Amino acid sequence: MFLGGYLGSCAAQLATYAACTACQCASREVLRHSARVAWSVLFFLAMILAWVLRDFATPILEKIPWIVKDVTQVDMDKWFGQQAVYRVSMGNFLFFGCMSLALLGVKQRGDKRDAYLHHGHPLAKLGLWLLFTCLPFLFPNEVLNVYSWAARVGSGIFLIIQMIILLDFVQCWNDSWAAHGEEDERWLYGLMGLTVAGYAGTLTLAGLMYAWFKPAGAGSCSLNIGAITLTLLLVVAFSVLSLAPLARQGSIFPSAAIGLYAAYLCFSALQSEPKEYACNGLGRSLTAASGGTLALGMLVTLASVVYAAFRAGSNTALFTLDGSEDGEGGAGGGAGQRQALLADVEGTSAGLDGVPDVAEATREAVTGGAPKPDAAAVARAEALTPVSYNYSFFHLIFALASMYIAMLMTGWGSVAQDKDRIDVGWASVWVKLGAQWVTGLLYMWTLLAPALFPDRDFS
């Protein structure tokens, strides 16, 4: 019995050690190969911290003299919560902004900033993030007042970038399935099915909005009725335009997808109306929701912001003049030099950005497929590998997203924002309705621009 227990204890310790070692190795590999995921997790933690401090930091902030100084707000609890959000947001804006500046011009993996700043040393970067997050709590209120207005501008830029990414994604999806449809008609049937589903979803959501945001006995609710009706008219306008001969690159599927997104923005805007507003029937029903339901809704909202920042930061080709993610010196000069260095390596496979994969070439060489390449040449070639996305732009997007989080959690600077709500208030309503129309107008511009400027290449 004693021997069996001893052996079992040893086995448990060995298993624990092996599991810990595996987790450490796995975490290092994730950080090394999926830096974007690691940065997204850090940003998500910042949002959770801002959310918690907004609701529970009042007893702490009341003891900081330079924050309490000259405060004349009636609802002190909400004001302190707003201050906590602004300071966490500003700390993350400064952190990601400094990272963006530090990584400016990184085009190849051999750049030391790639290994030291973007991919490596996670504990050091975590400590630096904590330092930047705490730093704004030492600033006077005047600095935060300036930042709150700057955050409104940065948030608008972040929303516009989201719209551009969405338009490009939908258009690429349509082009891809249409190209596959030339060989297999089932792709075209799928595209038609998604188009019908998109328009059906738009009409269904519009019907639900008429029911939820024009409740019986609430009066005319002209704002809500007008917003829903104008949304439908906007969808009809760009759908008809996409089929007109003037729209040379028009297609019905992108119109259906953008129409569904426009309907969602309208729904989100009306849902952001204050719960005391008589025409917000859905808001009144959500007032009785449980704390768990509200928390789940806020987590979904925060997760969607992280995903939007992740996708926008990774898709940098849209925002470069030459259409490449690495600019002038990325996949051009670096890749050419790297291919020259590996010219004597046979049996390589296509790797990142269309250049040979060193690891695969080395594995094939070891197994006898080709002579083993010179280690120094492999190292030089690996150093010349172009980065797969613009690191500086990636961190810039997260800096702008940090500003957007401040607006999201404070109702775009409204002290009246309730603690159990995120993105509620009249400012949020008008921002979302404005974003809806900007999206629609941007899409119509993409349809008209090739005809208005035939000499320019819009591909």
**pLDDT tens digits, one per residue of 364-418:** 544 455 555 567 666 666 767 777 778 888 899 889 989 988 888 887 776 655 5
Per-state percent for the chain, helix, strand, coil, to nearest 5? 75, 0, 25
**pLDDT tens digits, one per residue of 35-91:** 888 888 898 899 889 888 888 888 887 788 777 766 665 567 777 888 889 999 999
**pLDDT tens digits, one per residue of 233-291:** 999 999 999 998 888 777 899 999 999 999 988 998 898 888 778 888 776 665 544 45
The whole-angstrom separation of Cα 453 and Cα 459 is 13
For residue 313, give the nearest of 391, 385, 387 by alpha carbon: 391
Question: What local confidence, expressed as pLDDT, does residue 120 receive?
Answer: 80
Average pLDDT of the residues in 119-148: 90
> What is the band of 232 on the pLDDT scale with cuts at 50, 70, 90?
very high
Question: What local confidence, expressed as pLDDT, does residue 136 receive?
Answer: 92
Domain ranges of the chain: 176-322+419-452, 329-383
| Buried-state track 161-197, b at ≥16 Cβ within 10 A, e below 16 | bbbbbbbeebbeebeebeeebeeeeebeeebeebbee
Identify whether the C-beta of residue 96 lies closer than 8 Å to the C-beta of residue 399: yes
The whole-angstrom separation of Cα 389 and Cα 375 is 27
For residue 318, give the nearest of 113, 121, 160, 156 by alpha carbon: 160
Using a pLDDT cut of 70, give the percent of the chain over it. Answer: 67
Structure tokens at 29: 């590999």
In angstroms, what is the C-alpha Rg of the chain?
A: 27
